[in-house]
Structure 1
Amino acid sequence: MRFVVLTLALLLTGCQSAYYAAAEQVGYHKREILTDRVESAQESQQEAQKQFSSALEQLKTLVDFDGGDLESVYDQVRDEYLASEKAADQVSQRIDAIDHVAGAMFDEWQDELEQYSSASLRRTSEKQLQSTRRQYDKMLRSMRRAEEKMVPVLARLKDNELYLKHNLNARAVTAIGSEFGSLKREIQSLITEMNRAIAESDQFIQTLGQ
């Protein structure tokens, strides 16, 4: 039920602040929203890893092409590129969503420090805020590094798709094959960076839960 209320609020207002306010009313606080969004970003990164690996495998099929319907192979290469582009866009959107709710949570936390009457509790909360921010910044930097690594990989996949589209012949397959090794290394590096980001995310979620 609470998700129906939240969805309606977001559709009616189109405003994140209204979304957070509606969420608060049903007991869904920014900390929980942030945790959920971090987990969603982890899922999107895992899906992107699978998709980029699938695109690489399809290109390997092309490179190993030994007769048959080359146009059909091209269609599959194009589909893999479009799916990779969509997966990358999903990753970026979810990272942006994390950053938005994190900013709102940290601003609220900072403002509420002034409401303490106990100096001791205020100091403790402030230290927790600083520690959480540091852990968050570390996680976000890792996510953004992985996000940046998607750009050249997508560019290479697009280059291959375009070249094959306008040169649907064995010579084009050979040309793409000559660059296959470097693309493979870039995708492996991207997957490694995403795994680091996912590990940082796990640590941050643990920090939020403490």
Structure 2
Amino acid sequence: MKRLNFVPSLLFPVLFLLPLSLLLSGCQSAYYSTLEKVGYHKRDILIDRVEDTQQSQEEAQQQFQSALEHFQAVVNFDGGELQTLYDTLKADFDKSQDAAEEVSSRINKVEDVAEALFEEWEGELALYQNQSLKRDSERKLRQTKQKYQQLITAMRRAEKTMQPVLTTFQDQVLYLKHNLNARAIASLKGELRNIQQDINQLIREMQRSIRESKAFIQQLQQG
């Protein structure tokens, strides 16, 4: 499988020839065309981006789990430096927010190249002279679209589970910022169970999305 994470040296001159304004304007069709000239096709890019999203989801799971553990340490405070606990929780919130943004960015990139691939695939159907080959290609396109829809639905569902956790964490961090005392920390204990439930839900949805990613990649590779 061709991976874009480690672009061969021969690809760099081609990419640098692309005007920066072209890349920034989101003119992806020209970008994909340039990559295809050096052997990186939309199917390869899609597989690469699905794998990148899978990796970012795995990292997000770990980060949210770490944040939960530190929140537990805060609400179970039994002496020590309160400021240190707060600083750790604030850092975890920031990292969790970054992880969530990275997941969303990766999903957007998957959608972008998938749309380009399907548009190209549909356009090429009109070029067939052999009707048997055309019907087979149409069938594979339908199957790939169906599998992709399952994938992107799972990805977006997992993405949504991160926001309730971030909202709750943000509330706790903001509250502690101006109420850094044992009484304030004790008042947060009631939120612990809710956060645990939200993060457990998040992990379940992430795992479901990762399974769909693996199944989709397998289908593309077999196709």
TM-score of the pair, normalised by structure 2 = 0.91
Letter in 1 for 2:94: L
C-alpha change, 1:50 and 1:123, in structure 2 (3 Å) is same
Specify which of 167, 173, 191 is matched with residue 155 of structure 1: 167
Q: Is the 8 A contact 2:176 2:185 kept in 1?
A: yes
- The Cα RMSD (Å) is 1.2
Q: Please give the per-residue CA displacement for 1:130-175, whole angstroms capped at 9, x wherever unaligned.
A: 0000000000000000001111111011011011111111111112
Structure 2 residue 25 is matched with structure 1 residue 13: no
Q: Give the distance between the partners of 2:157 and 2:63, measured in 1 at CA.
A: 18
The answer to whether the aligner puts 1:82 opposite 2:90 as a matched pair is no
Out of 45, 61, 77, the residue aligned to residue 49 of structure 1 is 61
Contact 1:6 1:19 in 2 (8 A): no
Q: Runs of at least 4 residues of structure 1 off by over 6 A?
A: none
Aligned-partner residue type, residue 111 of structure 2: D
Identity %: 48
1:168 alignment counterpart: 180
Is 1:190 the counterpart of 2:190? The answer is no
Please, which moves more after superposition, 140-149 or 15-24? Answer: 15-24
Partner of 1:130: 142
C-alpha spacing 1:109/1:57, structure 2 compared with 1 (3 Å): same
Q: Note if contact 1:5-1:22 (Cα within 8 Å) is conserved in structure 2.
A: no
Match of 1:110 in 2: 122
Q: Offset of 1:106 from its aligned partner?
A: 0.1
Q: Which amino acid aligns with 1:157?
A: F
What's the CA shift for 1:103?
0.1
Partner of 2:4: none
Name the count of aligned residue pairs. Answer: 210
- Which of these residues, 97, 112, 125, is aligned with residue 100 of structure 1? 112
SS in 2 for 1:115: coil
Determine the structure 2 residue equivalent to 1:4. Answer: 12
Give the Cα separation in 2 of the matches to 1:133 and 1:5. 34
- Give 1:11 shift: 3.8
Bigger mean CA deviation after superposition, 4-13 or 192-201:
4-13
Deviation at 1:178, TM superposition (A): 1.3
Alignment-mate amino acid for residue 163 of structure 2: V
Q: Which residue of 2 aligns with 1:63?
A: 75
SS in 2 for 1:19: helix
Q: In 2, distance between residues paired with 1:72 and 1:91?
A: 29
User: How high is the TM-score relative to the length of structure 1?
Assistant: 0.97
2:153 pairs with 1:144? no
Are the structure 2 counterparts of residues 25 and 187 from structure 1 closer, same or farther at C-alpha, using a change threshold of 3 Å?
A: same
Residues in 2 aligned to 1:10 and 1:139: alpha-carbon distance in whole angstroms = 33
- 2:56 aligned counterpart, secondary structure: helix
Shift in Å at residue 7 of structure 1? 4.4
SS of aligned partner of 1:27? coil
Unaligned runs of 5+ in 1: none
| Aligned-partner SS, 2:79 | coil
For structure 2, the 5+ residue unaligned runs are 1-8
